[in-house]
Amino acid sequence: MTQEPNQHRPTHIIGPDGEPLTLADLPSPTTRRWVIRRKAKVVAAVRGGLLSLDEACRRYHLSVEEFLSWQRMIERHGLPGLRVTRIQQYRSSDTFRDAGPAGDLRDAGIDVLPSDYATRNRDRDN
C-alpha cells in the first residue's frame, strides 16, 4: 500500500504574522513582486511542512540558493533581512561577523589594516 505524499502534511501552520497559514494563503505562483510578507510566507510554509523545498522552488520559479538565502536572512536578521535594499548591507556585515583573523578577511577580498581589525573587534565585543 503506497501512501500519498501529502497525506501527513498539516492543513495549516502558524505564519510569520502569527496567524494561521494554509496553501490558499500563499502567494500566487505567478508572483513577480516579492515583498517581505510574501517571502516570509513561503519560507514559513516550507519550514512548517505545507510545501517541500522542491515544491516551493518549482511553484515560484526559485533556485534553491535563492530560497535558502531568504531563509538565512530571516534567521540572521529577522523579517527586515528580506528587504532587497538591505541585503547588500547585511551580506557585508555577515562577512565581518563570520570571518576570523584579519588574514581571513583578506582571503575574502577585503583590505583590512591591523588597526582597523582591532577597532572592529573591540567595538563588536562591547
Give a yes or no: residue 92 inside a domain: no
Give a yes or no: residue 112 inside a domain: no
Hey, what's the cell of 4?
Answer: 500519498
Whether residue 13 contacts residue 48, with contact meaning beta carbons closer than 8 Å, is answered with yes
List the CATH number of the domain containing 39.
1.10.10.10
pLDDT at 83: 87
Backbone angles phi, psi at 20, to 5 degrees: -60, 140
Give a yes or no: residue 109 inside a domain: no
Domain range enclosing 50: 13-82
Residue scoring higher pLDDT (98 or 45): 45
Give a yes or no: residue 103 inside a domain: no
Tally of domains in the chain = 1
Give a yes or no: residue 106 inside a domain: no
Cell 497559514, residue located: 21
Over the stretch 27-71, which tens digit does the pLDDT of each residue have?
A: 999 999 999 999 999 999 999 999 999 999 999 999 999 999 999
